[in-house]
Amino acid sequence: MPSIEDELFPSTPGKFKIDRSNRQLHRCFASTSTMFLWALFLIALTASYLSFQSFVDSGSRYLTASWGGIQWEKQVRTSAQIHRSGGISVLVTGATGFVGSHVSLALRKRGDGVVGLDNFNNYYDPSLKRARRSLLSSRGIFVVEGDLNDAKLLSKLFDVVAFTHVMHLAAQAGVRYALENPQSYVHSNIAGLVNLLETCKSANPQPAIVWASSSSVYGLNEKVPFSESDRTDQPASLYAATKKAGEEITHTYNHIYGLAITGLRFFTVYGPWGRPDMAYFSFTRNILQGKPITIYRGKNRVDLARDFTYIDDIVKGCLGSLDSSGKSTGSGGKKRGSAPYRIFNLGNTSPVTVPILVDILEKHLKVKAKRNFVEMPGNGDVPFTHANISSARNEFGYKPTTDLETGLKKFVRWYLSYYGYNSKAKLVH
């Protein structure tokens, strides 16, 4: 179907056919003054059209990015409906992220109400986030596209639904990216967190909050395994510093406003639908493409080790934290009593060196990696992580069950399927 532009402005100018019955009109054009007036008319008409088109485009962009309205509120309410006895209604921030999408699906599967919020930023390919959103949508989960720093949007969401819980997983992730874009960490991990807490403290009833801190807060701590009582005042990256700041900020809101808050220190989460910036993900991509992979080593050529934790185990920890979160005690911004404030490690308790991780990937991909060993630069990474999970085990029965061999096998199966490889790890066009 031709566009409005095609109809107004033909693709081959100068080939108009003039009807013989309109010769008088043609003579009219011969007059210089009349020609000038017609030119002004055409210019005015063109300007009017372009102005109208700009208005339509602006309106379209506004409608696409906007929120609110009867239909929007209906979608939010429907998604937030609880379908089990004793269920909860949860606002999940970062819902199309790696952990957020898995937690949202698990909540929905057991009958809880779930509404997602995500800004779909381009830290990594947004198409992966939109694919996750399609998966959530197929399960009846509505994801609102918006930013944590939009106070009016957050307020509107709590006006529409009286959420019992908030699962706050939205954040600017990544250790090394802070060297390129430090402002994004302050915007999301501090300003966004404060904006969310401000909304929650004023809600009536106040929700209980579970949020993602990070094992990065342990920083330069050399005592292993890492325990929640260990010192966390030596961050090795800006990312870690913003997460540590988040722990102090949430403690303040718990103390002043009676918000029940649980912080979860995740240890190197991996699995299907993961983040492309993570080592296991980028290693897989480069190995399949025949490109070399960079493996960092610590001082004296010591291999780096991580407490790799499979996504399903992290999800169990998130749900256990929500179910045992306790209740906020404030109302309308006023505290009426003390509320729980907790921090837990969620890890696997079995650190594995990076070279062994690569060995496992080679086994399941059936392709040898081209390894390039490099000394670890001073960019915020730490040489090892190791979680003590006794507190989470005692509080809500957290018990990881997936070892790295099993977890990476599941990841590789998903990766090959999602990116269109056949069983022999060859790209299918």
Could you tell me where the DSSP H helices lie in 203-348? Answer: 238-257, 279-288, 311-323
- Do residues 391 and 346 lie in contact, with contact meaning Cβ atoms separated by under 8 Å? no
Residue 256 token pair: 């002043």
Integer-rounded Cα radius of gyration of the chain: 28
Count Cβ neighbours within 10 Å for each residue of 74-85 and write b for 16 or more, e otherwise.
ebbeebbeeeee
In the block, tokens 């062994």 appear at: 356
For residue 73, count CB atoms less than 10 angstroms from its CB and return exposed for 0-12, middle for 13-18, buried for 19 or more. middle
- Do residues 328 and 205 lie in contact, with contact meaning Cβ atoms separated by under 8 Å? yes
Which among 185, 239, 253, 398 is annotated as catalytic?
A: 239
In the block, tokens 């399960």 appear at: 139
Residue 175 token pair: 């250790």
Coil, strand or helix at 265: strand
Does the active-site annotation cover 415? no
> How do 305-306 and 352-353 pair as beta strands?
antiparallel
Coil, strand or helix at 21: helix
Catalytic residues: 239
